Structure 1
Amino acid sequence: MKRYLVLLLAFTGMLAAQDWEVRLLPAPPTQFFIEHMWNCLITNTETQSVDVTIYAWMTKDGDEIAHGRSNQINISPGGKRITSADITDVSDEWYDPDYEDIISRRGAMPAGRYTYCLQVELARGDTILAQDCAQHSTVRASKLKLLTPQDEAGVTPQPTFIWAPLVQSYDDLTYRLRIVEVPEEMTPYEAISAAEPWFEDDSITKTSFAYPMWARILEEDKTYAWRVDAWSDVWKVSTSDVRSFVVGEPVIEADTTDTETSEE
C-alpha cells in the first residue's frame, strides 16, 4: 500500500510539533469496511499525555465521498494504536449519497480504488499534529481451485500439488499448503481444521509444490486431507476446498484398444 504525506501549508492552525506522527495501518485487500479508516498508530514523543481528535476523510477519483471526526482520545507519551474500538462517537459524519445506502447496508465499500486520510488535531484549538494518507484497492477475491491430485486419488509418497492461480493480482502473494492425516472418525473437512498438521508450508510463491524429500514421510495406505490458502501480506485473501488422497501407487487404467482389435 503506497503511503504519502500531504503537507498542509495553510489552515486555521499551524502544523504542530515535529515530534508527532500518525501512520495508517493496512486494510484487508478483499474488503474495506468504514471502520478500517480509523486504524492507525499515533506517535507522541512529548513527556505528557495529550487529548486529541481524529478527522478522517475518503476520496475516490479526486471526489470526497465520506468524512467524520472522532471523539476525544487521550494519547500517552510514546503513542497509541487506534482501532475502531477507540471510536465511540463520530461527529460531522457525512457520506456521498451514492455510497451512503451501500455503507449503511453492508458497512463495506464497493470494489474500487480509494484514498483515505487521517488528521490528528489537538482536542482544544485548531492545531494539526500529524496527518497520513493511503491508497487502497478493494477487489473481490476468487476462490482458489485445486487441480491435482484429484479428490480421493491414490498418490506416490512424494506427490506434486497443483492449484490454479487467482484471477486478481495482489501484493506479496504467498500460499499456505496444509496437509493433515484424516482419522477414521473424521471427514477430511473436519480433520483439516481439527487435526495437527502433518505438513505445512506458508512461504510458497508458485502454484505448484512438490512434497519435499526432507519432510515427514507420507505413510502408505493412510488418508490425508489438503487445503491451500492465499495470503497477501498478513491478510488471507482466498481459500480452497478440501481434498483427500491416499498414499499408494496411483491406479492407471490399461489401454485395451490394441488387445480388442487383435482378438477380432
Structure 2
Amino acid sequence: MKRLKQLLVVCFLLTGAGNVRAQVAFSFVPQVHGRTLDGLLMVRIANPAAQKAIVTLTVTVTEQRGGRVVAIQTPPFELLPGSNVLPAGLVARSSIHFAANKLGDVTRQSGYFTEGDYEYCFELADINKQKEVIGQQCFDYFLEPFSPLLLMTPGEQDVICDKKPSFFWQPLLPAIPGMQYRLVLVELKSGQAKVEALHYNTPIINQLNIAMPMLFYPSIARQLEEGKQYVWQVTAYKNDMKLADSEVWNFTVSCTDSSKKALPESFRNIEDLAQGNFYLAKNELLFAVKNVYDKNTLSYQIKCITQPDQKIKKLPQIKLERGINHVTIDLSENRSFIDGYYYILTVKLPSGEEKQLRFLYKKEQE
C-alpha cells in the first residue's frame, strides 16, 4: 500500500493537471568559459524530454556595478534528448547586442570580459510552442584576470649540464579547479626560430595532465644531448579549453668545461626580487637589503600559499647592520617548509616600505 502511494505521488508530480513539465538544465563553468565572448556558448544543455525540439538560446551577461554588458540570441537549432553541446559556428550566426557603456565597448573590441562581478543568465525558448521558455538558469562569478604564466627554470638562454633537467614555472592564478598543464620540449635546430621549432619539430617531451607547476624529467623520454639547444613552453588548460600559454624559452646543454665548479647563488636585492615576484628557494632564501639607518632587526614574516592554514614557526631573527646586508634564511631545517609548496615572504624594509616575494621551496640533498 505504501509503495502504491509513492507511485501515485510520483505520477501526480510528473503529470499534474497537464501543465507540469521537466525543464532543461544548463551546465556552465564561468571560471573558464565566462572570460570570453566565444566561451559563453560553451554551455551544455541537458534535455530531459524524450522528443527533439527547435529552440533558440538567449545569453545575457550583467556586471554588478556596470550593468548589462552583452546579450546574445542564437538562431534556431535542434535540441536533442539528453546532453547537448551547441552546434559549431553558432556564435558567428547569432545576434549580439553590446551595451552602450564602457564594459560593452571593451568586450566588443577585445572579445574578453574585464575584471568584475558578473551574472551569466541562460534562457531557452521552444520555437514550435510560441517561444515558450523551457529553461532558465543564472551563474554568478567574480572574474579576476589571470596572472601571466611565467617559466622559471631552465631559464631563458641558460647553459646547463643536466641531461634530464626538471622544469619549474609559476602557477596560473587565480587557480581554477581541475586546471592542468601541458609541457612541450623540442630541439632547436640551426637557423630555426623558437616558435617554428615548437610547432614543427618532433617533441622530446609532450606531457599532458600535469597537476603541479613542475615536471621532473619523464623516465620514458630520451635524455638531452651535449651541445644542443632546446626550447620549451607550458600551456594551462581545463578540459578542452586553453587558459593561457607561457613564453617560449630556450636553453643549451653543455658540460664541456668540467673545471668550473657550481657557484653559490648570488644575493640579489630584495627590490629586484620583488619586482620579478618569483623565486626558487633551494634550501634557503638569499637576498640583499640596504639599511641606511642605525642597526636594527629586520621585520618579516612568511606565509604558505599552497596550504594557507599552515603556521610558519621558528623563523630566525635577522640583525641588520648599516649599509648592504646579505640575508640568509635557512629553510632546510625548519619543518614548516614542505618541498614543492609555495610561500610568500613579506619584508618591512628599514624605510618602512613593504616588499613581497613569492617563492617555491625546493629541498635539495646536500
Contact 1:24 1:132 in 2 (8 A): no
Judge conservation of contact 2:61–2:71 (CA < 8 Å) in 1.
Answer: no
Q: Does 1:105 align with 2:104?
A: no
Matches within 5 A, 1:216-255: 216-249=222-255, 253=260
* Structure-2 change in CA distance of 1:53 and 1:62 (3 Å): farther
1:195 to partner: Cα distance: 0.8
Are 1:141 and 2:146 matched, yes or no? yes
The answer to whether the aligner puts 1:164 opposite 2:170 as a matched pair is yes
Contact 1:22 1:40 in 2 (8 A): no
- Aligned partner of 1:209 in structure 2 is 215
Tell me by how many angstroms 1:191 deviates. 0.7
1:70 aligns with 2:34: no
Residue 181 of structure 1: aligned partner: 187
Superposed displacement of residue 209, structure 1: 2.2
Alpha-carbon contact 2:28-2:43 (below 8 Å) kept: yes
Counterparts of 1:77-116 in structure 2, within 5 Å, are: 77-78=80-81, 80-82=84-86, 85-86=89-90, 88=93, 90=95, 95=99, 97=101, 99-116=103-120
Change (3 A) 1:109 1:214: closer
90 and 239 in structure 1: CA distance in 2 versus 1, 3 angstrom threshold: closer
Which blocks of at least 5 consecutive residues in structure 2 are unaligned? 1-17, 264-366
Q: Distance in 1 between matches of 2:160 and 2:36?
A: 44
Pick closer, same or farther for the CA change 1:37–1:235 going to 2, 3 Å.
closer
1:179 CA drift (Å): 0.9
Distance 1:83 1:234 in 2: 16
Partner secondary structure for residue 113 of structure 2: coil
8 Å CA contact 1:152–1:243 kept in 2: the answer is: no
Q: What amino acid sits opposite 2:236 in the alignment? A: A
Q: Residues 246, 119 of structure 1: CA spacing in aligned structure 2 closer, same or farther, 3 A cutoff?
A: same
Give the match's secondary structure for 2:189.
Answer: coil
Which one has more relative contact order, counting CA pairs under 8 Å at least 6 apart?
A: 1
Quote how far apart the aligned CAs of 1:197 are. 0.5
Shift of 1:254: 5.0
Which residue of 1 is the match for residue 132 of structure 2?
Answer: 127
Cα 1:191–1:37 shift into 2, 3 Å: closer
> Secondary structure of 2:195's partner?
helix
The runs of 5 or more residues in structure 1 that have no matched partner are 1-13, 257-264
TM-score norm. by structure 2 comes to 0.54
Deviates more, 1:65-74 or 1:227-236: 65-74
Query: Aligned partners of 1:169 and 1:186: how far apart in 2?
Result: 35
Question: Helix, strand or coil: the match of 2:21?
Answer: coil
Does the C-alpha gap of structure 1 residues 117 and 197 become closer, same or farther in structure 2, counting only changes over 3 Å? same
- CA distance in structure 1 between the partners assigned to 2:88 and 2:262 by the alignment: 64
- What's the offset of the Cα at 1:164? 2.5
Q: How many Å separate the matches in 1 of 2:184 and 2:114? A: 32
Following TM superposition, by how much is the alpha carbon of 1:196 offset from its aligned partner in structure 2, in angstroms?
1.3
1:54 aligns with 2:57: yes
Alpha-carbon distance in 1 for matches of 2:20, 2:112: 33
Rounded to whole Å, the distance in 1 between the matches of 2:189 and 2:207 is: 21
Deviates more, 1:129-138 or 1:34-43: 34-43
**Deviation (angstroms), 1:243:** 2.2
Q: Is the 8 A contact 1:157 1:248 kept in 2?
A: no
1:52 maps to a residue whose letter is V
- How many residues matched? 240
- Go from structure 1 to structure 2 and tell me whether the alpha carbon gap of 1:203 and 1:157 turns closer, same or farther (over 3 Å shift): same
Rg: which structure is higher? 2
Question: Larger deviation: 211-220 or 73-82?
Answer: 73-82
Residue 198 of structure 1 deviates from its aligned partner by 0.9
What RMSD over aligned residues (CA atoms) do the two structures have, in Å? 3.6
| Aligned-pair CA distance for 1:96 | 6.7
Identity %: 20
Query: Distance between the aligned counterparts of 2:147 and 2:215, measured in 1?
Result: 21
User: Which residue matches 2:330?
Assistant: none
